[in-house]
Structure 1
């Protein structure tokens, strides 16, 4: 080594020293991804579980269970596969719960529907023809169903701004400004403003709620055919079409092949365990996966798995705050929580509407699906998501025959 080279090298540092900051990069990416994923949609999860009949204790348990199974999945599969495979709870699924409501059914029936959804995910992993059948659902119909689920929720920011302007407007304005300058933090920022507003208006009494302490509450499932058709089957469809398929696509964009059998069987089994404690369903991450699988995580693609592994650990820690999060949501006016949820899924609504209407030949079927689902109708105890799929399929079949005739 020349004297010049010796002078340019930091004194007392080994040749491998530059690796230190590089290792911190995926660790920070994993922490950011976990915090973003949690803060962006925990309110939607809690509100969705409560909408299908969960008590505060059960909703808190459900959020904690989801954090635990997501964290364990990220840690175990990432360690075994050495790729940045990541998981999250189903945000469209939580929106479905909020839109569907209980319809008079018990939370035990909703848990039964969660278990059926989990079983279908496992079957998809073990029997590829079922997974292929789900992915063959026409994109306009699947997208329109998701758009119909999200549309009423996305109206909430407007309603909150009119009904409670002192609370609603600061949340919306914060989201808008952050969306312009730091999009990744737009929803967490809006949730932070909402939390501050709730804490100021509600005082400190909400902190004494029994749900503040993290706890798992076992929920014995009940299997109601109407709830399974109206909630379990649509939950499975939106999770596959709205989360798992995009999750695979995101990973492939960065050169990773997702082992679908391991991912589906693992997430299905984890969802089944989580369901017994109130969680709805977990799946492959899509949005946060892009952060952990991209060069933003680490320039060396062989080391990006560290980000997902770190995110798993972060989710385990974040789960300890499930009780506080539930108590905070319980202290807020419902429209404010739904408003934050609406901001969280606004991007998904835009993408769903775009996908639903991009094909001119299927627009009528897509609009029919959207209208039926958004209507929130319940027929013979079965919710609008199932009927929207059915009506959309019939309209698509009839109009396609007419076009081909």
Structure 2
């Protein structure tokens, strides 16, 4: 019993969920809203994600006695915000099912996982950087529409990043909520704790949605979440069971997709919170922190109605700033990785610009074209050399 309620395990689990949740839940809400989800369906999305992340974290960590923390794909959600508007919600849900199927197949078919690993990470991060850049730019555009809230949130973010960087997004969210209450938002004052209910949406499978949503979501999730998550675990001397994780998260994605579970995958940055020496001096016991994180995920999912009510009550400028600032660190990492190595700079630049352009040719969107052109250009350059 004492081991079960170890305070360092509990606080590490809670912190990892708090950091992951506050830094990106607003992007999930934007993705669902852009896809045409109603507020009740939006609650179902967060319920499905919370329960899926919680159960997979608990089951994997308990069975393998290893800290295996799952999360939603924040870069994947950012990609969806810019792409789902042209499809019906049923087709979007169908695309989630196919994305989960691709992850499942990656776990089952070794050559598929090897082929994915051969995609130069510079091109993957260039594609991801182009997806994230518009979010970050929009956050600074709010200085013209509401200079007061922008100044307050920007100052708070800068101070928090230098003193308590883990909780910078929590500080930012707190400032936004205080501002909303101060300007007379009565919805926030009357928000009550209530339970979310699952809402089933029957998936439809559209070729265009599969090409422009499923495939990019799969690639972004694998390159920006699963592969870095595996690397993170190895850096702490853990040997992650890669195939079971991919098979398990792929199945989970397929089953939760009709309720809005667009992507469950390995956590990367937030997972490190549960793997450090401070969590437990005994490396073999740190998995218990992830079990607590799984519990808090489920709680957050069950009370998703309250979470949605809070975020939908915030002024638009606040949610735009939250989304943009949450992605600044990831954008910086992407640009550094994409253009650091001179051998990949030109192909990464092509990938970046084509993805950023938003063009669609032959029914295929810019995200996939950017990656394909970048890979083709790199092969041509390598062949000529």
Bin for the TM-score computed over the shorter chain: over 0.9
Tell me the residue number matched to 2:58.
Answer: 75
Offset at residue 169 of structure 1 (A) = 2.2
**Preserved contact between residue 157 and residue 172 of structure 1 (Cα < 8 Å):** no
TM-score normalised per structure 1: 0.90
Aligned equivalent of 1:94: 77
The two structures, once aligned, show a CA RMSD in angstroms of: 2.2
Q: 1:364 to 1:335 in 2, by over 3 A?
A: farther
SS for the counterpart of 2:259 is coil
Gaps of 5+ in 1: 1-16
Partners of 2:4 and 2:14 in 1: CA distance:
15
The structure that has the greater radius of gyration is: 1
In the superposition, the TM-score normalised over structure 2's length comes to 0.94
1:212 CA drift (Å): 6.2
Of 104, 107, 111, the residue aligned with 2:89 is: 107
1:364 and 2:342 aligned: no
Distance 1:211 1:97, change over 3 A: farther
8 Å Cα contact 2:199-2:259 kept in structure 1 = yes
Matches for 1:3-402 after TM superposition, within 5 Å: 23-103=6-86, 105-201=87-183, 203-205=185-187, 213-402=195-384
Q: CA deviation at 1:343?
A: 1.1
The CA distance in 2 between the partners of 1:190 and 1:206, in whole Å, is 16
Residue ranges of structure 2 left out of the alignment (5+ in a row): none
Larger mean Cα displacement after TM superposition, 158-167 or 110-119: 158-167
**Is the deviation greater in 331-340 or in 59-68?**
331-340
Q: CA separation in 1, counterparts of 2:184 and 2:362?
A: 40
Number of residue equivalences: 385
Please list every run of at least 4 consecutive aligned residues from structure 1 whose deviation after the TM superposition is greater than 4 angstroms. 19-22, 206-213
**Deviation at 1:376?**
2.2
Matched-pair contact (CA < 8 Å) for 2:191–2:310: no
- TM-aligned CA deviation for residue 379 of structure 1: 3.4
Distance in 1 of aligned mates of 2:212 and 2:302 = 32
Matches of 1:162 and 1:260, distance apart in 2? 47
